[in-house]
Amino acid sequence: MARPLHSLCLRSARTPTPRASISQDRVVAGRRIISGTSLLPILTTSKGYRQRIMYSTSTTMARRNIHSSTKRSSSTEQMLLTPIESAPQTPLAPLSVLPLYMIIRSLLTTIISSSPILLPPSLWVMSVLANTTNPILNPDENLLLRFFLKHTFYAQFCAGEDPVEVKQTISRLKDIGFTGVILGYAREVVLADTQTKDLASCGEGEMAEECIRNEIIPWAEGTLETVRLAQRGAGRQALYSLAERLPPSAALADSIDSICSLASERGVRLLFDAEQTALQPGIDIWTVEYMRKYNTSPGNAVIYGTYQAYLKSTPQTLRRHLMIARGGGFTLGVKLVRGAYINSDPRHLIHDTKADTDAAYDGIAQCLLKRQWSEILRGDSQMPLVCLVLASHNVESVRKARAICDAGEAKIQMAFAQLQGMADEVSCELVSKKPGHQVAKARGVDAYKYLVWGSTGECMKYLLRRAHENRDAVERTRDGRDAMWSELLRRFKGVIGFSI
């Protein structure tokens, strides 16, 4: 059974990722888990910082009782036991696991996202709503606007405005067949490159005390609560330390340790997000040190780092971390993504073509799954133990990894993860019911959906980023649109009596 998963975000700008989980101990069906917060969501919006609090949950699906208690006569039993020839069952379409309202909502969203006519004005409107100071254009103030957004774009990508709505969303996703969710708090603002350079330390004395009192303590207290999430991030001191590749301050380190200790006790995994290149080296240093401290159980990881395959340096970075893990005797937690900062990271750091990025992603995934070095990920000794989360919307990458697992060649624990509202045709292929109603989870496949929660207004910047991602991945968005059309047509034919 999969253990719960919990995300810690060290970031200043960007997308989420998600975040998923794999371990096979200490979780019973239906168990509720802890909540958490981002390390770097920041308070001061004038600096352009972004606040984001992460919480995730996962539970194994309870097995349904398929036995009947009704007594039968011996003649009836004999008749039931007599072999009967029947037509072979056809596996259900992957999207058949989704309710009709989700199909229609996804279809409308992808039609807009894939249209060169509808998307630009939609992006402009969402940008205005995400950055407005006018209460009439604020979804949290304008009830009519809030109603429209909450039942369209918000419902497509977000979990809810409060813990009650969040729990209902989680329950619906688990009923569909997902192992669990990765849930993040949506409040955020973007940190520009010039603002990164202007970061300053909280200093010492009264200023340092103010940082601890107003930023770190509220963040830590909110993180350690169960579902209630704090309204403040770790503060500007955390951003400064990451940018300068310094250790966390004593107060911040104590808070992070409290979170990690509680996660370890409760079987929750923490996923540290990737960041823009200005902050990523600092995040890597912190993440590896917390892995060293908490990933001491062989083959089980509490702390996960995020590795972006579109960066040319990722194989070398990952190899270095693998060697550190081997020398330190701890399990490396890896969340593998393609990358999310292509519009802000220096272009020369990124692979020249999408094909190069695809090859890097698939090659790294294969190496880790099989625990074998290759030309992409080179090593000269036995690969250390790894726990892997494959966060991908690419159907070919997911199928390649799934084939390795189905062939019994995977030597590590792994899980799949996709963003809620995107690539549902990929996600549902992992959890769709097969003949005999045996879901994928029964064969050891863990699949998670990533969502954010918060008020409609707080989620606007997140929704704007989702829209930009759909614009930048037009081909994938069209594939999703076509898949939803096909599923809707399949159901329509079924209703009017055609063969499905």
Q: Report the 3 state secondary structure along 102-150.
A: HHHHHHHHHHHHCCCCCHHHHHHHHHHHHHCCCHHHCCCCCHHHHHHHH
Does residue 281 fall inside a structural domain? yes
Number of separate domains in the chain: 1
Does residue 79 fall inside a structural domain? no
CB atoms within 10 A of CB 144: 8
- To the nearest 10°, report the CA torsion of 143, 146, 152, 153: 170
Q: How does pLDDT run across 281-338, given as a tens digit for each residue? A: 888 998 999 999 999 999 999 999 999 999 999 999 999 999 999 999 999 999 999 9
Q: For the residues 226-240, what does the mean pLDDT come to? A: 45
Single out the residue of 308, 346, 42 nearest to residue 191, CA to CA: 42
The predicted pLDDT at position 90 comes to 58
Q: For the residues 72-87, what does the mean pLDDT come to? A: 43
Contact (Cβ atoms closer than 8 angstroms) between residue 344 and residue 276: yes
- Cα(360)–Cα(439) distance, integer angstroms: 31
The confidence band for 457, taking pLDDT boundaries of 50, 70 and 90, is confident
- Cα(500)–Cα(486) distance, integer angstroms: 11
Single out the residue of 335, 271, 325 nearest to residue 303, CA to CA: 271
The predicted pLDDT at position 343 comes to 72
The confidence band for 2, taking pLDDT boundaries of 50, 70 and 90, is low
Task: Check whether 260 has a pLDDT greater than 90.
Answer: no
- Cα(94)–Cα(178) distance, integer angstroms: 13
For residue 329, what is the domain's CATH number? 3.20.20.220
Q: How does pLDDT run across 388-418, given as a tens digit for each residue? A: 999 999 999 999 999 999 999 999 999 999 9
Beta strand residue intervals within 247-385, DSSP E: 269-272, 303-308, 332-337
Does residue 355 fall inside a structural domain? yes
Q: How does pLDDT run across 341-366, given as a tens digit for each residue? A: 777 788 999 999 999 999 999 999 99
Does residue 240 fall inside a structural domain? yes
- Cα(222)–Cα(106) distance, integer angstroms: 33
DSSP strand pairing (180-185 vs 54-58): antiparallel
Does residue 500 fall inside a structural domain? no
Does residue 86 fall inside a structural domain? no
Task: Check whether 27 has a pLDDT greater than 70.
Answer: no
- Provide DSSP, 393-439: --HHHHHHHHHHHHTT---SEEEEEEETTS-HHHHHHHH---TTS--
Does residue 70 fall inside a structural domain? no
Burial class (CB in 10 A: 0-12, 13-18, 19+), 344: middle
Contact (Cβ atoms closer than 8 angstroms) between residue 156 and residue 421: yes
Whole-structure pTM value? 0.72
Give me the residues paired with residue 311 across strands.
350
The predicted pLDDT at position 74 comes to 44
The confidence band for 99, taking pLDDT boundaries of 50, 70 and 90, is very high
Contact (Cβ atoms closer than 8 angstroms) between residue 279 and residue 196: yes
**CA angle 491-495-500, nearest 5°?**
55
- Residue 464 is part of which domain span? 5-61+92-495
The confidence band for 78, taking pLDDT boundaries of 50, 70 and 90, is very low
Does residue 111 fall inside a structural domain? yes
